[in-house]
Structure 1
Amino acid sequence: MGSPLPPQQRPEPPLVLQLAAGALQAQNLELPGGGGLGPEWQVLLGRADALAFGGRLHEALPLYQLASRHQQLRAEQLEKLVECLANSVRIKEGLPAAGSGPPQPREGDVFRCRKCQGFLFEPVSLPCGHTFCKKCLERDRAAESRCVLCKEEEGGTAPGQLPRVNVILSNLLAKWFPCQVKASQLRHEGNLLYKEKKLQAALQKYNEAVSLAPNDHLLYSNRSQINSTLKACENALHDAETACRLQPYWLKGHLRKGQALANLGKTEEALREFLFCLALDTGNKTAKSEAQKVNVEQKKGFSIQEEPNVTTSGSLRKSVQITESKKDCSEEENKLTSMQESPFLISDKCSLLKRKCCSEEMRNAELPCKVMKKDTIDTKGNSAGQHTPFEFVDPSDLDCSLCMRLFYEPVTTPCGHTFCLKCLERCLDHNPKCPLCKEGLSECLAMRKYCKTVLMEELIARYLPEELTERRKIYEEEIAELSNLNKNVPIFVCTMAYPTVPCPLHIFEPCYRLMIRRCMETGTKQFGMCISDPVKGFADYGCILEIRNVEFFADGRSVVDSIGKRRFKVIQHSQRDGYNTADIEYIEDQKVQGQEYAALLVLHDSVYDQAYLWFNSLKQALKSRILSHFGPMPAKDPDPQANPNGPAWCWWVLAVLPLENRAQLPFLAMKSLKDRLNGIRRVLTFMSRTRSR
């Protein structure tokens, strides 16, 4: 910290007190340090911070000036000023508020890694569906185990093992963008050389990469870092400006530019860049530190000059030392570092809220021939110039290897292979291994969470819209056909099921796994249940079951909680994809009136009472098992014809009676409640006589 100013250069105490009193009156601020105790410069600095925080920068700046004349200010003491200046830049530029999340991807971002912001190289698709460079995931895995886009865990593979390169995407990128892929390879080679301090060799790699991909902003940003280390400050600034031109709202590019300007002593522009960085990201420590240092002076005071129609303008002078960064270029893919030492000097004509680097003049400026030819940069901000001619897109490149059709809802396994979601699920019904490489997918199966690969969907939607429309139409037609509960209704051939009676099922056969999943996907959540028939395969009568819940296990098995809904008669037996189906018609009880209804009521009450007495006469252990499986006996219905399937208690009694399936089936087919009640009474009478013997 420098020595205080000589007495002859200090403002008179009355002037200091007058300015401080004015600030206090304007904002009604409390004195720091206990009601005005402490040095005058601390009082002034505290009030200046408060005024700046309240958005009154034109009142705060004179107080900062006076405070600096009393005491040399440190960088961290100007944190409030820097924050307020950055907020003014954010408002002036129309940037989103802090904490509003990352900007939405633009047209040219489809092939960009959202970790390093560069062109995807060796793309790896995570279980959450997002895709990043393999090296980015390897580098950040220890520090961050969640996806930077959706915050989901990056799991789905064995501990310590990364998902593998997405085979389809890797092949497509190599086919569509061979130059960009080669440039990315050179970038990684250059990073390794930089880490080994072989700077000239690293620079040569980046020069080759830029010649192959002249619109890749990350290449210029990293080459700017190499040039800075080599003391080639003009080249470093030129590369940083190019990166900003290609990506106007990329924080790292503006930080690079600010550091390069600082190295060249152009502190007016450097401060503007650092403030713009903070406007993009208020929490960036490097940008905040650099901006604070620019506002500090060891021996010279502030010089304030306001400009019209600008929220905050002026100039702040300083001379400060900055330690040279020793971090390697590969770390710079994600981390932002400071630059080499240099004096900063800001002129009085600086406008802190104008960002010249992204002006129209800069965008249209011609680059030197050593870097690239004129008009080779995409001025719309497309970082890689990634315009894929439609004739290069072969629809067969995006076909599922299982169904041989265009990917629909593509998902990528941890081993890097991509399939249609439904195709993969059907394969996993039979074998928990990848259909192509046979690697185990038990972890994937246990998760039961298949997220669509976002980039694959974007590519198909962008380059094959007509094929996607046709593929979606086929899928929707299949779903509509599967949703029909009269034709080709899925039939589970197993046991007797009755309306209103729970029917828990253990599913382990592949064909029934597929059947249950389709019932869930269509939204019907219904299928038919029939007993087997030695001739036809399954009986002519059954009951529709509705799925209430499905619990999946890691090995693919599941337990289905279902309940009976309606009875049906089979019109035609058939099969689909390994399981039985049927065309059906629903059956209901025929209603009676008058004397027949009165007689039905008497019979109904009599049989109910008989069934109630029979159940209560059972041994307690047997009763407990029945109650745990079927629940309590339903109450007697006031109107036995209210339900088209008849009273619920009748079906409950039939379900618990120890009858063979062939003996139970006729009750399901009966359309007369009177006949069903008489049949139940005969069975109960037989059961009672057998027990009395």
Structure 2
Amino acid sequence: MEGEYLWEKQDLSNAMLKFNTAIDQEPSIGRLLAQRAELCMEMKNFSQAIKDGDTMCQLRPLWPRAHYIKATALRSAGSSEEALQEYLFCAALKPDWIAVKLEAQKILSHMFSSVFVNDGLATSLPACTSRIKPTSLLSSLNTIIPRDGTKAGCSKDLTLSCSKIKDGNSQLSENVNCVGLSSLFIPPVLKRKWTENSKQSEPPSKQLKEDHVFSSAVVKRQVPLQLLDNADFECSLCMRLFYEPVTTPCGHTFCLKCLERCLDHNPNCPLCKENLSEYLATKAYCKTLLIEELLQQYLSDELTERRKVYEEEMKELSNLNQEVPIFVCTMAFPTIPCPLHVFEPRYRLMIRRSLETGTKQFGMCIADELKGFADHGCMLAVRDVKFFPDGRSVVDTIGIARFKVLSHGQRDGYHTAKIEYLEDKKAEGEDLTELLKLHDSVYDQAMAWFTSLKDDMKNQIISHFGPLPVKDPDPQGNPNGPAWCWWLLAVLPLENKAQLTILAMNTLKGRLIAIRRVLIFVTRKRPR
């Protein structure tokens, strides 16, 4: 574009003419307006930059760059109060924009420092801050000005001090609380400056007493309990008291678990339908500290009961006998890796719950036309999870134990089951001697079959399942039998039903006999 080229050559006047011509022809193109606004600021024409910023915000009210350019122009023109509002809107739309938070922090720091250092502390906050919708900026404010001041982008300058204290403490409290930000600030440590003459005239005990009063002052607003209603703190999705509340960029607050379940199905806000794909991709689910503090202060009993209900739900979900989550997909075997691509909403929820409860386990069964899933399966343990921006995930699991289904059920869309774990019956005496001979014979037969395969086929098997496990000196040492049997069962070309039959066997001898028959069959059928 000619305007950009002239701008690079620092021919600002002619560049402006080119941008004016382009915008006259296409007045609704936000990119051109943004470039002209930035050029106007470089030329110190802040009034025109502000007008372009207004136009962009009207055309695209959810475009963070439009609010950022308008805020920069306002601040350059000396309108810090209006600039703060635009910076906060921008931070609400894009919570991970650190530069915006730093600019907003500088303005807030200047505002509040001026409140505390003025005589009488009677200076009230600008009216623009009281017009900002608290719910829409709640999440951003919690990260811009955290209570402990330890997050990135925070300055220790927000710990305010004053040089003169008069009779304006009550006015100070009202000034800070009128914008609902008092709980976000560290209570200031107020100190008086003393000259040598004043130190001599004032007794030490009086100095210590006054310093103690000033340092213990807490800027806090009390709300009458009769004005509070539990319904004001209920999640609009579960209709219960907020638990782990999070606020979306569009300004709506939900329980964390409720919001995650909704985003499993649709990447839009459940209330206003604004697209939250970027919010989902970053997983910036920061707790809304202000709401948590209000709940703890005014609804502590209700919050305790809500927490108790949540803990009971987690305890129920972590019982891996009574209500085991079942992933209906493919055959899985003990000790064998089973990578999964999870994209269905019900299984997203299931995997997330298995991680939240700490069990990191769930059952795997093949489908059954009549019952929904088979009567036998294998428990899988989650080793690693990789999440994608759109909510999908790749879950690395490995089989750990076999089970038998006692009853089928469902929970929140996915299958569940009451199960009992399977263990091989141990052989003794002559049966054990016979079993050891059979074990060694079938292993040698399996090794001969695998060695005879073509190199490319062997490489594919090894890359997916790993090499053939070594022969176990104690075949009955593991309740599920030797690992090489399951490796071979996963590798052999068998239908799922045949694999399921062998999986359900509770004796090692029966499983070895079945595997030997399969090996004999595939060896005879192999083309020579």
Deviations 1:432-455 (A, max 9, x none): 121112222222222234222122
Provide the C-alpha distance between the structure 2 equivalents of 1:503 and 1:678, rounded to a whole number of angstroms.
25
Partner residue in 1 for 2:479: 644
Deviations 1:134-175 (A, max 9, x none): x99964999xx99xxxxxx9963579888xxxxxxxxxxxxx
Partner residue in 2 for 1:359: 210
Q: TM-score normalized by structure 2?
A: 0.66
Unmatched tracts of structure 2, length 5 or more: 1-79, 102-120, 131-159, 177-185
2:505 is the counterpart of 1:680: no
Provide the C-alpha distance between the structure 2 equivalents of 1:243 and 1:358, rounded to a whole number of angstroms.
22
Partner residue in 2 for 1:320: none
3-state SS of the aligned residue for 2:338? Answer: strand
Deviations 1:51-88 (A, max 9, x none): xxxxxxxxxxxxxxxxxxxxxxxxxxxxxxxxxxxxxx
Provide the C-alpha distance between the structure 1 equivalents of 2:167 and 2:247, rounded to a whole number of angstroms.
37
In the alignment, is the contact (CA less than 8 A) between 2:331 and 2:364 conserved in 1? yes
2:232 is the counterpart of 1:381: no
3-state SS of the aligned residue for 2:468? Answer: coil
2:452 is the counterpart of 1:601: no
3-state SS of the aligned residue for 1:502? Answer: coil
Deviations 1:107-130 (A, max 9, x none): xxxxxxxxxxxxxxxxxxxxxxxx
2:246 is the counterpart of 1:395: no
Deviations 1:504-547 (A, max 9, x none): 00000000000000001111111000000111111111000011
Partner residue in 2 for 1:462: 297
3-state SS of the aligned residue for 2:526? Answer: helix
Pick closer, same or farther for the CA change 1:592–1:453 going to 2, 3 Å.
same
Code of the residue aligned with 1:398 in structure 2: it is F
Q: Any residues of structure 2 matched to 1:396-475 within 5 Å, and which?
A: 396-475=231-310
In the alignment, is the contact (CA less than 8 A) between 2:243 and 2:306 conserved in 1? yes
Pick closer, same or farther for the CA change 1:608–1:136 going to 2, 3 Å.
farther
Provide the C-alpha distance between the structure 1 equivalents of 2:356 and 2:187, rounded to a whole number of angstroms.
42
In the alignment, is the contact (CA less than 8 A) between 2:325 and 2:350 conserved in 1? yes
Residue-pair matches, total: 390
Deviations 1:179-221 (A, max 9, x none): xxxx9996204999xxxxxxxxxxxxxxxxxxxxxxxxxxxx9
Pick closer, same or farther for the CA change 1:544–1:237 going to 2, 3 Å.
closer
> 440, 445, 452: which one pairs with 1:610?
445
| Same amino acid, percent of matched pairs | 57
2:188 is the counterpart of 1:250: yes
Unmatched tracts of structure 1, length 5 or more: 1-134, 147-152, 163-182, 193-220, 226-235, 259-268, 272-314, 316-345, 364-378
3-state SS of the aligned residue for 1:543? Answer: strand
3-state SS of the aligned residue for 1:456? Answer: helix
> 86, 90, 95: which one pairs with 1:156?
95
In the alignment, is the contact (CA less than 8 A) between 2:385 and 2:396 conserved in 1? yes
In the alignment, is the contact (CA less than 8 A) between 1:245 and 1:358 conserved in 2? no
Provide the C-alpha distance between the structure 1 equivalents of 2:437 and 2:372, rounded to a whole number of angstroms.
40
Partner residue in 2 for 1:574: 409
2:319 is the counterpart of 1:484: yes
2:288 is the counterpart of 1:349: no
Which has a greater percent of helix? 2
Deviations 1:416-447 (A, max 9, x none): 21111110110111111211122222222222
> 187, 200, 215: which one pairs with 2:125?
187
Partner residue in 2 for 1:624: 459
Pick closer, same or farther for the CA change 1:553–1:605 going to 2, 3 Å.
same
Pick closer, same or farther for the CA change 1:422–1:241 going to 2, 3 Å.
closer
Pick closer, same or farther for the CA change 1:592–1:443 going to 2, 3 Å.
same
In the alignment, is the contact (CA less than 8 A) between 2:187 and 2:218 conserved in 1? no
Code of the residue aligned with 1:439 in structure 2: it is E
Provide the C-alpha distance between the structure 1 equivalents of 2:127 and 2:212, rounded to a whole number of angstroms.
35
Pick closer, same or farther for the CA change 1:663–1:137 going to 2, 3 Å.
farther
Give, in angstroms, the shift of residue 645 of structure 1. 0.5
RMSD: 3.9
Pick closer, same or farther for the CA change 1:654–1:353 going to 2, 3 Å.
farther
Provide the C-alpha distance between the structure 1 equivalents of 2:242 and 2:122, rounded to a whole number of angstroms.
27
In the alignment, is the contact (CA less than 8 A) between 2:264 and 2:345 conserved in 1? yes
Provide the C-alpha distance between the structure 1 equivalents of 2:249 and 2:122, rounded to a whole number of angstroms.
23
In the alignment, is the contact (CA less than 8 A) between 1:529 and 1:542 conserved in 2? yes
2:466 is the counterpart of 1:527: no
Provide the C-alpha distance between the structure 2 equivalents of 1:362 and 1:523, rounded to a whole number of angstroms.
48
Code of the residue aligned with 1:250 in structure 2: it is P
